Amino acid sequence: REEFYEISPADFFYRNRDIAGFSNPARALYSAVRELVENSLDAGELARRPPDIYVRLSCDGEKGEEGSSVYTLRVEDNGSGVPARHIPQAFGQVFYGSKYRLRQARGTFGLGGTMAILYGQITTNSPVHVISSADGKRIHEYTLMIDIKNNRPIVLKHKVYSNHNGWRGTIIETKLEGEYSRAMPKILEYFRQTAVVAPYANLTFVDPKGRLYRFERATEAMPKPPVETKPHPYGIDVETMKRMIAVTQCRDMVSFLREHFHKIGRTIALRFLLEEAKIPPKRKPKRLSNEEIVKLVKAMKRFTGFRAPSADCLSPLGVELFRAGIVKELKPEFVSVKQRPPSVYSGYPFIVEVAIAYGGEIPRTGDIILYRFANRIPLLYDEASDVAWKVVHQLVNWKYYKVDPSKDPVAVFVHVCSTKIPYRSVGKEFIADVPEIEREILNGVRDVARDLSLYLSRKIAVERERQR
């Protein structure tokens, strides 16, 4: 009498789209814009071309229920483009993408762009247009819908044009129900904060009223691109180990460790196998028994001799870039920026960068203003559930730094970059309070708070001097 059945990933996120950030027309408009802009920024960094991103939101004129309407959202970029054979699945299938690797990127789940299109489809029944060139020779234009029940793209049309000026990039145009008046402050704030952490990007936004917002690039210099890395032994588990063993060509344990793991040299591999794992170095990986695999994984987590992961797979903002973005946006009287040394949680390397700004155009809001970023993405929702909020509002003793949060115009900026940001949900809005990350944010905030406190003491001293 109980009916059992399976649902596809697209069906799951269709039924639970609020979990992915598409809970109501205003929030869905914000989420659609940010998911597509983040894809375009990733594509620009991949192509190592300063991104020119153009976003147009126009109202199709039909008033929906209580203030919502149908909008057309168009996002154009000059990034890497999407290879033609992957376009249908990249946009028409949930859990399909190119970001499933150990390298810093905004994209993580293989879900965001597809969700924007899915939401558009279920509210307007219209297909999405994707125009892209990845090789500069041909331009491919697809008209797609999503077969939600089966998590598959439906290609309605596919045209190919020759590419006369070698353009590379991607254009997405989709219709969706939204409510711009409520979404507008968040959308504009998203662009403003993106300009701070991606100052090499030109962002143009035309809103439904035809107003043009331009965020001009402050520099042509692109950040050093992150390099894909291999898994670190501290983060390994039985499943990953079994997959490595299944694909390995290595015929002994030493070369297996050196080939598949991050920074394990011959000496360390031998020491680990003989002293900790107690597995003969000559053993064939494919011949390990199930018990030996479990023993090996446990030994890897215990062994203290592995080198800390390097940060080549990360691409932090850097102190200069971060400072430049903050100064440009808020023109503060004082700024201090610190980059913490690379750290690691569960085998994933991460870097925390913290800044504090005082005065200038920072408003007095009765509390410290917190700006949060992860892998160069601004996080604008669920502040009180984020680890950075916990640090800034619960763990730091501001009095000690001569700061009165209720009176002083202070803003704190926290940027975390990692090969895996521990988001608490697929909506990418807040970060879990992983102990290692919490500790680094706390240390970073204390570093910059110390600088501010010196500045404020000097300021008070100068003021007293003047008054005599």
Ligand X SMILES: Nc1ncnc2c1ncn2[C@@H]1O[C@H](COP(=O)(O)OP(=O)(O)OP(=O)(O)O)[C@@H](O)[C@H]1O
When the beta carbons of 79 and 325 are compared against its own copies, the nearer one is 79
Distance of closest approach, residue 107 Cβ to Mg ion, in angstroms: 4
Q: Does 278 bind its own copies (CB under 8 A)?
A: no
- 152, 206 in Cβ contact below 8 A? no
| Contact with its own copies (CB under 8 A) among 48, 278, 302, 331 | 302
Half-sphere exposure of 404 (CA within 13 A, CB side): 5
| 208 interacts with Mg ion by CB under 5 A | no
User: What is the SS3 assignment for 166?
Assistant: coil
In the complex, what is the shortest distance from the CB of residue 162 to Mg ion, in angstroms, rounded to a whole number?
29
Kindly state the number of chain residues that form the binding site for ligand X, as judged by CB under 6 A: 23
Q: Provide the strand spans (E) within 148-302.
A: 152-162, 169-178, 202-206, 212-215
Q: Does 64 bind its own copies (CB under 8 A)?
A: yes
DSSP-based three-state secondary structure for 53: strand
Interacting span for ligand X (CB under 6 A) from 64-72, 94-102, 329-337, 389-397: 94-102
Residue among 22, 25, 40, 146 that touches ligand X (CB under 6 A): 40
Please answer whether residues 136 and 168 qualify as being in contact, where contact means their C-beta atoms are separated by less than 8 angstroms: yes
Q: How far is CA 426 from CA 16, 418, 433, in A?
A: 11, 16, 16
Q: Which residues, at least 6 apart from 319, have a Cβ–Cβ distance to it below 8 Å? A: 337, 338, 339, 353
| Complex with its own copies: residue 90 or 254, whichever CB lies closer | 90
Helical ranges in 103-237 per DSSP H: 112-124, 180-197
Options 44, 51, 92, 107; binder of Mg ion; rule CB under 5 A: 107
Is the CB of 39 or the CB of 69 nearer to ligand X? 39
104 is a site residue for ligand X (CB under 6 A): no
- Candidate residues 31, 39, 104, 151; the one interacting with Mg ion per rule CB under 5 A: 39
Which among 7, 69, 1, 79 has a CA at the least distance from the CA of 38? 79
Number of residues that bind its own copies (CB under 8 A): 61
Query: C-beta of 67: minimal distance to ligand X in Å?
Result: 28
Residue 269 near ligand X by CB under 6 A: no
List the x/- string, 289-318, binding to ligand X by CB under 6 A. Answer: ------------------------------
Which residues from 94-153 bind its own copies, rule CB under 8 A? 95-98, 100-101, 109-110, 121-125, 148-149
Rounded Cα gap, residues 223 and 353, in angstroms: 15
The nearest distance, CB 437 to ligand X, in angstroms, is 19
Query: CA–CA distance from 107 to each of 45, 427, 443 (Å)?
Result: 12, 12, 28
Segment near Mg ion (CB under 5 A); pick from 32-40, 62-70, 78-86, 149-157: 32-40
Determine contact, residues 303/276, Cβ cutoff 8 Å.
yes
**Does residue 97 interact with ligand X by CB under 6 A?**
yes
For 71, other C-beta atoms within 10 Å of its C-beta total: 27
CA distance 364 to 279: 62
Q: Which of 50, 88, 92, 110 is close enough to bind ligand X by CB under 6 A?
A: 110
Asked whether position 181 contacts its own copies by CB under 8 A, the answer is no
Q: Pull the structure tokens for residue 392.
A: 């800034």
| Residue 163 is a binding residue for its own copies (CB under 8 A) | no
- Binding residues for ligand X (CB under 6 A): 2, 35, 39-40, 43, 77, 79-82, 90, 97-99, 107-114, 170
